[in-house]
A and B are shown apart, each in its own frame.
Chain A
């Protein structure tokens, strides 16, 4: 099977499963949303106390199990890390601040668009602009440095966390919070969500689909390989929604589930998410898969996402259906300044080192 077709089918499986999860109870246009799901997990663990968004999403646990198992089977599992973990933590932190301004990770952005939510088009334009900005830093020598092999045990931490979360989900101890109303209370049955997550985790690990990578490679090296995967998610999700969720299909800007139509902030939120995704080397869903393969830098990024999501609700930064908050707008601006300053500083230092090396050669 040629690469493009394989990519399209891989994306298609993800798009189809997203529709099924929505059909069986997940919130509107939220078959998958990596930012929202980590936010719900943060809430379930009591890291934030917004009562409407607290649930241990089995899809995330499934992603991790699926990717972990297939990575071991295929020899991709490799404990590694040490590539600027602290910077990655904050890139993850601000990525989710941007995503929760828009109300969705890049994957949910595609799913929102495939169910007619045109606000996601504004988000997509923002995401593309963010990716374009990130690429300019890459071209100028931006790097977070090499990762190196790590102790074997470090690679098992992410799957172990997933296992603990699964136990909490099934046992429901008193210290875990579960929403009784709002998006956090809307969920497909646990077994279905878990199995769906495992399948998608396997597909994502094998195909290496990344929403940022797809657009980035198209712009940077004119490689459209991963874009076929994104197209597969979009088209199959669109068709499956029209067949299975026709009553909820709604083309337009208003009355969209868990969305707002403040165009400027949908745009800017996803600019921030796009820059962070490129600077990290992958979008939130890709970071989740990498973490499951033993990449501890991606694991730290996920922790940044979870902590960022908790702050987003504790400090009133996350948008709601009513629109963005003033605090959220300030946080997105701060996020843009922080990540641009960080990237600029890294590029400047990298070029300084290169220049000094050249000088050294010339003087020798």
Chain B
């Protein structure tokens, strides 16, 4: 079960910081980030892919689930 980072409702740039902290504490473990805005999806995807991770996104109603792994 991947670690879940719940960044829903957080204003910019908190979702990216939360993702960054989670990845830095366990660099090789996959994580799942929950967000609810398209901007957060774009920012986290740009950050994680820039660090060499792959990001899969699932849309769940108004929310997004980002699966991030090496």
As a 0/1 sequence over residues 1 to 27 of chain B, the CB contacts with chain A under 8 angstroms (1 = contact) are: 000000011111110110010000000
Closest to A75 in B: B38
Residue numbers in B under 8 Å from A281 (CB-CB): 11-14
Q: Say whether B46 faces chain A, with CB atoms less than 8 Å apart.
A: yes
Pair B10/A216 contact, Cβ less than 8 Å: no
Closest to A149 in B: B62
Residue numbers in B under 8 Å from A282 (CB-CB): 11-12
Of B11, B39, B50, which one neighbours A223 at CB under 8 angstroms? B50
- A52 to B47, alpha carbons, bound, how many Å? 46
State whether A208 and B42 are in contact (beta carbons under 8 Å apart), knowing that A138-B17, A223-B47 are contacts in the complex.
yes
Residue numbers in B under 8 Å from A139 (CB-CB): 17
Residue numbers in B under 8 Å from A225 (CB-CB): 46
Give the size category of B's interface with A.
Answer: 10 to 19
Pair A213/B12 contact, Cβ less than 8 Å: yes
Q: Which of A76-84, A234-242, A251-259, A338-346 participates in binding chain B?
A: A76-84
Pair B11/A148 contact, Cβ less than 8 Å: no
Q: Say whether B67 faces chain A, with CB atoms less than 8 Å apart.
A: no
Pair A220/B37 contact, Cβ less than 8 Å: no
Tell me, rounded to whole Å, the shortest Cβ–Cβ distance linking A148 to chain B: 6
Pair B17/A80 contact, Cβ less than 8 Å: no
Residue numbers in A under 8 Å from B38 (CB-CB): 75-76
- A140 to B67, alpha carbons, bound, how many Å? 25
Pair B39/A208 contact, Cβ less than 8 Å: yes
State whether A297 and B11 are in contact (beta carbons under 8 Å apart), knowing that A138-B17, A139-B17, A225-B46 are contacts in the complex.
yes
- A146 to B37, alpha carbons, bound, how many Å? 12
State whether A146 and B46 are in contact (beta carbons under 8 Å apart), knowing that A75-B38, A138-B17 are contacts in the complex.
no
State whether A220 and B17 are in contact (beta carbons under 8 Å apart), knowing that A76-B38, A208-B42, A225-B46 are contacts in the complex.
yes
Q: Say whether A361 faces chain B, with CB atoms less than 8 Å apart.
A: no
- Chain B positions near chain A (C-beta within 8 angstroms): 8-14, 16-17, 20, 36-39, 42, 46-47, 50, 62
Closest 10 CB pairs of A and B: A146-B9, A281-B11, A281-B12, A147-B9, A208-B39, A76-B38, A148-B9, A143-B14, A221-B47, A225-B46
